[in-house]
Amino acid sequence: MDKRVYGVLGISSIMANWNADFSGNPKTVENGDIYGSDKALKYPMKKMWNDEGKKVLYIKSMRFSDGALIPKTLKERYEELFEVDDLKDCKDSKEVLGNLMSAVDVKNFGATFAEAKNNFSITGAVQFGQGFNKYSDTSIEEQNILSPFRDGKKKEGDNGKSEEARNTTLGTKIVCDEAHYFYPFVINPLAYKEMQELGIKNSEYTQEDYENFKRTAIVSATAFATNSKEGCENEFAIFVETDAKLYLPNFTEYITFEKGEELNIINISKLSEILNEVADRIKDVEIYYNPYTTELISGINNEKRYNIVTQKEV
């Protein structure tokens, strides 16, 4: 692929928790701004690829050990995925690297692989930034949840004696009432140039790889429905294809989000000014958004707009 791609993926979260910290609260930086990590965005993509039967290395998988269900190690996952009896017997690093690059998540996002004397650090062709919430009126809601079961452990009562619990337990669910995350990304197919020169199999980032990434990127959050993620959807995406030597800034710095009277408003007019200045070096611009909920303010020369729900041109 002889081009770079710059873009943004937008995720809406309505009464949901897109990315929680270890306390269960939405992740925040020191000043209180809510954000989602790149891992939160990559996981639904990897889950979607895995469900489609594609090779995904860095995803949790389980096995039984002495009757207990435990996660597999990276070595065990590799051996399962590439039908290897024992990774320790694989002396050919070129072969191991070729296998790694055949995994769709490694091909896109890279990998750190240090197993059985095979130590590789692969910088992915696709690099994401952190996704900051651009809706200023987000509030965090805590819901009490009543369990149908009581705690079976005995506790010390007021009289000093051990007593059984008489009531069912309480839990909590923490969500954002409304948040809108915007993730910047860049795709650099030259990231694997050295591996190609070394003759590593599967190391070229192709147009087919890019199309697969794009297809998954605009739907995977919507498709991934867990208890905390139900209510999280893909609501925006922009893909700007440029020549291989054009270097552009982080797009999310030039995007704003606000609530209109009837529709949400995503404004990328400042980004339009930058892109129109280098229009002769831009090959294609595709914008996906939800016209049922969102008004898009743009102005990029020759942009193509698509309905992110139907995939049809607007």
Q: Give me the DSSP letters along 234-284.
A: EEEEEEEEEETT-----GGGG-EEEE-SSSEEEE-HHHHHHHHHTGGGEEE
Q: Which residues of 68-91 are buried (b: 16+ CB within 10 A; e: fewer)?
A: eeeeeebbebbbebbebeebeebe
Residues 164 and 200 occupy one common structural domain: no
At residue 230, the pLDDT reads: 80
Residues 156 and 290 occupy one common structural domain: no
> How many CA atoms lie within 13 Å of 113's alpha carbon, on the beta-carbon side?
27
Q: What is the mean pLDDT of the chain?
A: 93
**What distance in Å separates the CA atoms of residue 210 and residue 187, rounded to the nearest whole number?**
8
Q: Are 17 and 174 in contact (CB under 8 A)?
A: yes
Residues 110 and 148 occupy one common structural domain: no
Taking 70 as the pLDDT cut, the residues of the chain under it are 154, 156-162, 166, 226-228
In 3D, which of 127, 129, 97 has the Cα closest to residue 109? 127
Q: Are 128 and 36 in contact (CB under 8 A)?
A: no
At residue 227, the pLDDT reads: 54
Residues 132 and 168 occupy one common structural domain: no
- What domain range includes position 9? 3-137+173-307
Q: Would you tell me the crossing angle of helices 207-217 and 38-51 to the nearest 10 degrees? A: 110
Residues 15 and 162 occupy one common structural domain: no
**What distance in Å separates the CA atoms of residue 258 and residue 13, rounded to the nearest whole number?**
14
Residues 162 and 211 occupy one common structural domain: no
The pTM of the full predicted model, rounded to 2 decimals, is: 0.91
The residues near 293 (Cβ < 8 Å, ≥ 6 apart) are 12, 235, 263, 264
Residues 167 and 273 occupy one common structural domain: no
Residue 247's CB: how many other CB atoms inside 10 A? 8
Residue 312 lies in a domain: no
**What distance in Å separates the CA atoms of residue 109 and residue 99, rounded to the nearest whole number?**
15
Residues 167 and 248 occupy one common structural domain: no
Residue 313 lies in a domain: no
The residues near 90 (Cβ < 8 Å, ≥ 6 apart) are 84, 96, 116, 118
Residue 114 lies in a domain: yes
Residues 121 and 237 occupy one common structural domain: yes
At residue 157, the pLDDT reads: 64
Going from the C-alpha of 153 to that of each of 156, 166, 312, the distances in angstroms are 10, 11, 57
Residues 105 and 216 occupy one common structural domain: yes
Of 129, 153, 172, the one marking the end of a domain is: 172
* Cα Rg, the chain, nearest whole Å: 23
Residue 314 lies in a domain: no
Residues 161 and 247 occupy one common structural domain: no
* Total of domains in the chain: 2
